Amino acid sequence: MRRIGRIQGCIVMLVAMLNGDDPAASHDAEKLLVALSSNPQNVLHMAEAGYFKPLVRCLKEGSDKTKILMATAVSRMELTDLCRASLGEDGAVESLVKMFKSGKLEPKLSALNALQNLSNLTENVHRLISSGVAVPLLQLLFSVTSVLTTLREPASAILARIAQSESILVKKDVAQQMLSLLNLSSPVIQFHLLQALNSIASHSSASKIHPEEFMEQLGESYLGNIVNIISSPESESGKAAAIGILSNLPVSSKKSTEALKKLRLLPILISLMSSELGVIPILVKFLSSESPVTKLRSATSLAQLSQNSPALQKSRKSRWKCLPPSADTFCQVHHGYCIVKSTFCLVKAGAVPPLIKVLEGKEREAHEASLDALATLLQDEIWESGSLYIAQTSGVQAIIRVLESGTVKAQEKALWMLERIFRIEEHRSQYGESAQVVLIDLAQNGDPRLKSTVARVLAQLELLQAQSSYF
C-alpha cells in the first residue's frame, strides 16, 4: 500500500475515478483511498486533489500532532468556494472550533488560521456561529496573556467575517464588547473590529428593530473613539469602516446628532473631502462592502456629488488659462479636465465599474441608488459621451438585468437611462435584441406606471408598431 501511495499521480487518478461515472470503479477507488488514508501524507495529497473526507476524519479522530498538521494544511491551501463548501459539509468547521476551544497554543493557532480560510464562505459562517465560536473569540481578544497575542489577528478576522451574518445579533452585547476593544488593539485588529461593527450596524434587523438600542450601546465615549479614528492618519479602509458605522445611526435621533456635533464630526468630514484624495475614494471603496445598506448609502452619496460634476468642471475652465492641465485629467464624459477632489467625477474616481457591479449583485435595495449615480453621466449636456462610457464598461447589460428583476422604482430609472442610451444607433444594434424581450414582458405584465416609458423605448427600437397589441 505504501508503494501505491508513492506512485506519482496515483492518488489524483484514484480521486478522479471516485468521482467518475463508473460505479464499480468508483467503489474500488474509494476502498483504495480508505486504505491509503492511514498515512497522513496521503491524506494531504487527497485533499490537494479535492477529496477532503479523510482530512476531516483526521481532524476529528487523529492525534494532536495529526490534527495540527491537517489544520495547518487547510490554512495554507488555495481553496475554491466549492472546496470550502465540501470541507464545511464534511464537518471540518465543527472539528476546528472544538480544536480551538480545547487546545493549547499551537493547535489553537492552526485551528484559527484554518477557520479564517474557511470563513470566506457564507455557509461556513453560519456553521461557525452555530458552533458557538463568537464568545471564545471575544474572550481571546480580551485576554491580557502575552502568549496569546499571535492568536488575536486571525481571531479578529474571523469575527469580522461572522459579523456579516445577521445571526450574530442573537449574541447579546457582542457589539458593545467589540467597541470596548477598539482602543486596546493593534491597527490590524482594530480594522477587523471596525469591519465587524460596520456589518452589525448595517444589518436590516439592527437598523429597523433596535436603532435606539444601537445608539445606547455606542454611547458618547465609544462614539468619540470612532470619530478619533476618522480624524487620525489611519488607513483609508479603517476610516471607511468607521464612517460606515456612524452612517447607520438613526437619522431621526436627536441624541446621536447632538453627540456628533459635540465631537465636531462635520469639520472632520469636510476636511476629508478637501484633502488630497477626498471622500470620493472612501465612498468608492464602500461600494465593495458586504453590507447592502452601506452600498446603498455610498451610491446615494456618489450620485449627489456627481450631479454637480458638469457645473464644477465648467467653473474650473478659467483656471486652466494660467497653468496647462495634465493630459491625465482629461475626462471623455465631461469633455474637459476633471480632478476627483474638486469636480467629484465618477469616471476619474474609478467609480463606474463598482457601481455596475452593484447592479449585477442580488442586493435589490442598492440597485436604485447605483442607477441614480450612473444616471448623472446621462445629464442633458453629456448624455452621448456618458452613454458611450457606460457601454464601454459593460453597464448596458447590467441596466437591462435590473429591468428583469428590480423594484418598480429601479425599473423606472433603468428605462429612463435606456431611453437615452438607445438614442445612439450603435447601442440599438448591439443591445436592442437583448432588451426587447424584457421590454415586451414589461409591456404585458409590468407595472402600469412603466408602460408609457416602455412604449417610447420600444418605439426607439422600431418595435412598437409590430408589437402594438401589447399596449
Whether 312 and 246 share a structural domain: no
Residue 185: inside a domain: yes
Residue 130 CB neighbour total at 10 angstroms: 12
Does 259 lie in the same domain as 332? no
State whether 319 and 427 are in the same domain. yes
Residues 212 and 311 in one domain: no
User: By the 8 A CB rule, do 2 and 39 touch?
Assistant: yes
Encode pLDDT of 130-188 as tens digits.
Answer: 999 988 998 898 886 766 778 999 999 999 999 888 776 556 677 788 888 887 778 88
- Between CA 324 and CA 314 the distance in angstroms is 15
Residue that terminates a domain, selected from 273, 291, 320: 273
Identify the segments of the chain with pLDDT beneath 50: 207-209, 315, 318, 320-323, 465-471
Give domain status of residue 195, yes or no: yes
Q: Which pLDDT belongs to residue 4?
A: 64
What does the pLDDT look like over 316-343, one tens digit per residue? Answer: 554 544 445 565 678 889 888 887 777 7
| 102: in domain | no
Q: Is 198 left (phi over 0), alpha (psi -120 to 50) or beta?
A: alpha
- Domain range holding 427? 300-470
- Taking the model in full, what pTM does it have? 0.63
Contacts 24+ apart (CB under 8 A), 192-195: 192/153, 192/156, 192/157, 192/159, 192/160, 193/156, 193/159, 193/160, 194/226, 194/229, 194/238, 194/241, 194/242, 194/245, 195/160, 195/163, 195/241
Q: Does 324 lie in the same domain as 248?
A: no
Paired strand residues for 337: 330
Whether 116 is in a domain gets the answer no
3-state secondary structure of 339: coil
- Cell for 203? 444589518
In a domain, 32, yes or no: no
Strands 330-331 and 336-337: antiparallel
> What was the pLDDT predicted at 466?
42
User: Does residue 294 form part of some domain?
Assistant: no
370 in the same domain as 245: no
Are 445 and 368 found together in one domain?
yes
Chain position carrying cell 470550502: 84
Residue 328 lies in a domain: yes
- Whether 442 and 333 map to the same domain: the answer is yes
Are both 259 and 309 inside the same structural domain? no
CATH code, 418: 1.25.10.10
Q: Does residue 325 sit in the same domain as residue 428?
A: yes
**Same structural domain, 344 and 441:** yes
Gyration radius of the chain's alpha carbons: 27
Given this model, what pLDDT does residue 334 score? 86
- To 10 degrees, what angle do helices 408-421 and 451-460 make? 20
* Total domain count, the chain: 2
Give yes or no for a contact between 51 and 18, defined as CB atoms under 8 angstroms apart. Answer: yes
Helix 149-162 vs helix 134-142: angle between axes, to the nearest 10 degrees? 140
Asked whether residue 375 is domain-assigned, the answer is: yes
Q: Are 456 and 309 part of one and the same domain?
A: yes
